[in-house]
Amino acid sequence: MNCPKCESGTLEKRVVRGIEVDQCGGCQGVWFDDDELSKLINDQGASGRALKGGDSGLNRKPGKCPLDETPLIRVHSKRNRSVVIDHCSTCKGVWLDGGEFQRLTS
Ligand SMILES: [Zn+2]
Ligand SMILES: [Zn+2]
């Protein structure tokens, strides 16, 4: 699968805390299928309205789902509202930019 955020990166399988996820070797972002993120950190997923802006860098860039190419919707995480996640409304997958996963789990 190709990374939804950086052009050159590809996603590679990686096991985090017993759950298989896909991580980009370029930007270190992580893709979670459907309920993988909720299994990992008990996150209830997206909340609130889609965001228009962004905070910085790659995070501003609208991504496309690596599975079905649906444009990802940027929303605050319910668990940590300072973290913005990219959510696919088609397959319910979630993208976290590099470092965001650490912020959610720390
Ligand atoms: Zn990437
Ligand atoms: Zn999708």
* Alpha carbon distance 94, 32 (integer Å): 5
List alpha helices for the chain, DSSP H. Answer: 36-41, 100-105
pLDDT given at position 92: 92
In this model, does residue 96 exceed pLDDT 80? yes
* Alpha carbon distance 102, 58 (integer Å): 16
In this model, does residue 40 exceed pLDDT 60? yes
Residues with CB under 5 A from ligand 1 (ion): 3, 5-6, 9, 24, 26-27
Q: What is the CA radius of gyration of the chain?
A: 12
| Per-residue pLDDT band at 12 (split at 50, 70, 90) | very high
pLDDT given at position 103: 85
In this model, does residue 10 exceed pLDDT 60? yes
Half-sphere exposure of 7 (CA within 13 A, CB side): 0
In this model, does residue 81 exceed pLDDT 70? yes
pLDDT in tens, 54-80: 555 556 677 899 999 999 998 888 878
Asked whether the CA dihedral 29, 16, 84, 52 is positive or negative, the reply is positive
Q: List the chain domain ranges.
A: 11-105
| Ligand 1 centroid – CA 59 distance (Å) | 11
pLDDT given at position 106: 72
